[in-house]
A and B are shown apart, each in its own frame.
Chain A
Amino acid sequence: MSSYDFPDARGRFGAYGGVYVAETLMAALDELNAEYARAKADPAFWQEYHHELKHFVGRPSPIYHAKRWSEQLGGAQIYFKREDLNHTGAHKVNNTIGQALLARRMGKKRVIAETGAGQHGVASATVAARYGMECVVYMGSEDVKRQAPNVFRMKLLGATVVPVESGSKTLKDALNEAMRDWVTNIDSTFYILGTAAGPHPYPMLVRDFQRIIGIEAKEQMQEMLGRQPDMVVACVGGGSNAIGIFHPYVEVEGVRLVGVEAGGDGVETGRHAAPLSAGKPGVLHGFRSYLMQDEDGQIIETHSVSAGLDYPGVGPEHSLLKDIGRAEYVAINDDEALRAFEDCCHLEGIIPALESSHALAHAAKVAPTMGKDQIILVNLSGRGDKDINTVAGLMGITL
């Protein structure tokens, strides 16, 4: 497979992606596309990006052998790519730094963002503070309740958090509201989109800024073990941490790529957030991809214990990788994710994000079916400090 080169000039990943937005946004997307093309060819841009990743984020993030858990499972060896150790606690900051540097190049002094779990909101507020920009974060009012610590974190960083009351009051509605803000303030504002979705060029842009995860992992695995993993596992909300670790592996033979969606109460119950497992192609938020929708084409409400996976769509590149069979997508239910969350705490001394716990749960599920000499690399996309209220609540404890 040496011909994997997406998106095309129209922002298409095969039959997915594209630019499905109202006319008012077209010029801004063209401008962003042109500026990114210039930045991409400018070594100084990447130099600053890598400098920031090293000195501000703390990259490279380590690879860690989850030895006790692997032993207990009795099969494949599980390794973590430790994105949880990044400044701000998740992979999201890799992308916000890249986009904020673009915003600065374009002379934009105001940035906006949507957020679900609050991790992208925190990462956006963080870079806005770092580069001296005004920051407004849209967040579904349901998520504002679920993720109170991150709401306060954003405020500490000087951002304005706007609770969104429309629709299902979660991530998709926050994205709608961010788009509405952008269309209204298009001259002054840069929209920092938080996942590898949205209209072209965002899916490409976000992927390019998250690829650092997979690029590092490839080098680190080679250095540590002299080989690449048999399987790479990542959770999929909009798909940015997954595409970040998958993309550098797409053309590496023998490495299985597995994306884990949120199964909520179980895919069979309809109460989930797993468009690749149970959705149909459609158009939302500026791009074509697998989507959770009813027979009228209305978007269905999603359900997941993790706010960051509670999204009815998925980045277009994952739809392509699914269709061409280069990646597999599975679903992990709330209860399975919570069990993995606890195991990771007890056996490895790491409190993982609930999002990442979905990837961990799948690794724990398949490891026993694999040989002891086989390797699973899990993208530990974030830490779980933000989730302690949710988990305590599920245990019947009030903090």
Chain B
Amino acid sequence: MSRVAETFARLQAAGEKALIPFITAGDPSPALTVDLMHGLVDGGADIIELGIPFSDPMADGPVIQRASERALAHKVGLRHVLAMVKTFREQNQHTPVVLMGYLNPVHVLGYETFAQAAAEAGVDGVLTVDCPPEEAEDLTAALTAAGLDPVFLVAPTTPMERVREIARLARGYVYYVSLKGVTGAGNLDIDDVARKIAALREHITVPIGVGFGIRDAETARAISVAADAVVVGSRLVQEIEAATPETAKEQLTRLVATLKAAIR
């Protein structure tokens, strides 16, 4: 069983929902990332989504765009991200790490080279935002061969026949995009999300996480009623943005603890 599957099994047995915080690797500086990851776990993170910085983050709102820009100012690339995960694993062998990013940095490294390096570093899953199932065959094969979970998005606009195709390829969990928009947007409709998740469960057997636009404990709680996992990104990145390098870890831990308490 993969580390992601184990985590969901453990939580399910305890009647808990998973909290998946997202931060961008290298934001605000590469030296802080591993520490911040431990800080997320201290606060109660069940899985960490670690963003790979990219120069053209088309699916992201301004907050995560700025995180990417801060990381790129330090020239943080995919190789550094993998090195960070490796360092994180020296002290933590139980929290799954899912890389989230855009295809080109992975494409340029080569799918097989990337998958092997990622598995060696201790990565558990990979979500490339701009690689839908239609284009994902080679990447998915490489990931699966290396024992990594390919994570896919499902959107409010996804028709059911595509949901079936995504269900066939997805491992670990499926990421339901809670709104039509970019990350950090504010037009989330909780009832609509709950209805959609119920419909998705007819086809999807892996756990369903929900993200995009979850900004506070109240929304996280409401979403967690229907979902197996809640993903929080922009709100955490904003916390990093507002903190000093000295206080960032402590502030993240506190915020994650509030979110985890709300969905437990």
A26 contact from B55, B72, B162, B185, Cβ within 8 A: B162
B188 within 8 A of A: no
Shortest distance from the beta carbon of A334 to any chain B beta carbon, whole Å: 24
A20 contact from B135, B155, B162, Cβ within 8 A: B135
B115 within 8 A of A: no
> Given A23-B154, A26-B132, A176-B58, A295–B181 Cβ distance below 8 Å?
no
Cα A298 to Cα B52 in complex, Å, equals 11
A297 B109 Cβ-Cβ under 8 A: yes
Interface string of A185-212 (1 = CB under 8 A from B): 1110000000000000000000000000
Interface string of B99-110 (1 = CB under 8 A from A): 000111111110
Q: How many residues of A contact B (CB 8 A)?
A: 38
Cα A179 to Cα B65 in complex, Å, equals 14
A23 B107 Cβ-Cβ under 8 A: no
> Given A176-B57, A184-B182, A296–B105 Cβ distance below 8 Å?
yes
Interface string of B44-64 (1 = CB under 8 A from A): 000000000111111101100
Cα A81 to Cα B153 in complex, Å, equals 46
B153 A282 Cβ-Cβ under 8 A: no
Cα A25 to Cα B134 in complex, Å, equals 13
Cα A187 to Cα B179 in complex, Å, equals 13
Shortest distance from the beta carbon of A127 to any chain B beta carbon, whole Å: 25
Cα A24 to Cα B78 in complex, Å, equals 25
Residues of B within 8 A of A187 (CB): 180
16 inter-chain pairs at a CB distance below 8 angstroms, sorted by A residue, are A19-B134, A23-B132, A23-B153, A23-B157, A23-B158, A27-B157, A166-B65, A166-B69, A176-B57, A183-B59, A184-B185, A187-B180, A280-B108, A283-B107, A283-B130, A298-B54
B20 within 8 A of A: no
CB-contacts of B42-101 with A (<8 A): 53-59, 61-62, 65, 69, 72, 75, 77-79
Cα A92 to Cα B131 in complex, Å, equals 29
What is B's interface to A at a CB cutoff of 8 Å? 53-59, 61-62, 65, 69, 72, 75, 77-79, 102-109, 129-132, 134-135, 152-159, 162, 166, 177, 180-182, 185
A-B pairs, 9 with minimum CB distance? A296-B77, A297-B105, A297-B108, A24-B155, A23-B153, A27-B157, A184-B181, A23-B155, A297-B104
Cα A294 to Cα B78 in complex, Å, equals 12
B77 A298 Cβ-Cβ under 8 A: yes
Selected interface stretch from A82-90, A149-157, A250-258, A285-293: A285-293
> Given A183-B180, A284-B104, A297-B108, A18–B155 Cβ distance below 8 Å?
no
- Count chain B CB atoms within 10 A of each CB in A27, A282, A291, A298 and give the residue with the most: A298
- Count chain A CB atoms within 10 A of each CB in B79, B132, B153, B181 and give the residue with the most: B132
Cα A298 to Cα B77 in complex, Å, equals 8
A28 within 8 A of B: yes
Cα A286 to Cα B134 in complex, Å, equals 12
Nearest CB to that of B157 among chain A residues?
A27
CB-contacts of A286-329 with B (<8 A): 286, 288, 291, 293, 295-299
Nearest CB to that of B134 among chain A residues?
A19
Interface string of A144-181 (1 = CB under 8 A from B): 00000000000000000000001100001100100110
A21 within 8 A of B: yes
> Given A24-B156, A183-B180, A18–B104 Cβ distance below 8 Å?
no
> Given A26-B158, A296-B79, A18–B135 Cβ distance below 8 Å?
yes
CB-contacts of A230-272 with B (<8 A): none
Shortest distance from the beta carbon of A18 to any chain B beta carbon, whole Å: 5
B78 A296 Cβ-Cβ under 8 A: yes
A183 B134 Cβ-Cβ under 8 A: no
Cα A284 to Cα B132 in complex, Å, equals 14
A180 B157 Cβ-Cβ under 8 A: no
Nearest CB to that of A22 among chain B residues?
B59
B182 A183 Cβ-Cβ under 8 A: yes
A24 B108 Cβ-Cβ under 8 A: no
Interface string of A1-41 (1 = CB under 8 A from B): 00000000010000000111111111110000000000000
A186 B180 Cβ-Cβ under 8 A: yes
Cα A21 to Cα B75 in complex, Å, equals 25
Nearest CB to that of B185 among chain A residues?
A184
Nearest CB to that of A19 among chain B residues?
B134
Residues of A within 8 A of B107 (CB): 282-283, 288, 297
Shortest distance from the beta carbon of B11 to any chain A beta carbon, whole Å: 25
A19 contact from B135, B156, B159, Cβ within 8 A: B135
Cα A21 to Cα B135 in complex, Å, equals 10
B108 A295 Cβ-Cβ under 8 A: yes
Residues of A within 8 A of B155 (CB): 22-24, 26-27
Cα A298 to Cα B57 in complex, Å, equals 11
Cα A20 to Cα B131 in complex, Å, equals 5
A284 B56 Cβ-Cβ under 8 A: yes
Shortest distance from the beta carbon of A179 to any chain B beta carbon, whole Å: 5
Cα A26 to Cα B72 in complex, Å, equals 29
> Given A286-B130, A293-B104, A293-B108, A27–B158 Cβ distance below 8 Å?
yes
B134 A283 Cβ-Cβ under 8 A: no
Residues of B within 8 A of A283 (CB): 102-104, 107, 130-131
A180 B58 Cβ-Cβ under 8 A: yes
Residues of B within 8 A of A286 (CB): 130
Nearest CB to that of B159 among chain A residues?
A27
- Count chain A CB atoms within 10 A of each CB in B58, B77, B106, B130 and give the residue with the most: B58
